[in-house]
Amino acid sequence: MEKDQVAFRDEVASLAGAMGIPVGTVPVLELAQRIGEKVREAGAERDRRAKLLERLGQARGRQRTLAETSAIHDEQKHRMTAFFEVASLADVSDIPELRQTPSARGEHPVRVIGGQLFRKTPSNQSNTI
């Protein structure tokens, strides 16, 4: 039994030294408790790290998606600026013919019903044109 106690004390002292826990004159059972606490802390830290790595993976996925979306936007922007022979999308919006749609100018859609043209008015009444 004494051999077991000596072996236990030696093993605890060895583990404590390896873990950076000062041995000194601290009772063996207290050292064993500190070792157990360190092991639990390490487990909690491992779990926290795993969660952070998972979040990092998700963030990288979102970053890839945003990069793809940005590349699509840049390509569309390039096509529009090249087509209209302007330097920026702001310049595209300054082209008078593109500035407003008929409904933005207050005009209402024209419909052909039974061979007659009708313009829908704001009051939801139809007028023959």
pLDDT tens series, the chain, 129 aa: 888 888 998 899 899 989 988 888 889 999 999 999 999 999 999 999 999 999 999 999 999 999 999 999 999 999 989 988 899 988 888 887 766 555 555 555 555 555 555 555 555 554 544
44 and 16 together in one domain = yes
84 and 125 together in one domain = no
Put simply, whether the predicted model's pTM sits higher than 0.75 gets the answer no
82 and 25 together in one domain = yes
Cα distance between residue 35 and residue 13, in whole Å: 10
31 and 65 together in one domain = yes
φ, ψ of residue 111 to 5 degrees: the values are -125, 145
Angle between helices 28-83 and 2-18 (to 10 degrees): 30
6 and 27 together in one domain = yes
Domain that includes residue 118, residue range: 102-129
31 and 51 together in one domain = yes
45 and 74 together in one domain = yes
Q: Is residue 74 helix, strand or coil? A: helix
115 and 73 together in one domain = no
Cα distance between residue 92 and residue 98, in whole Å: 8
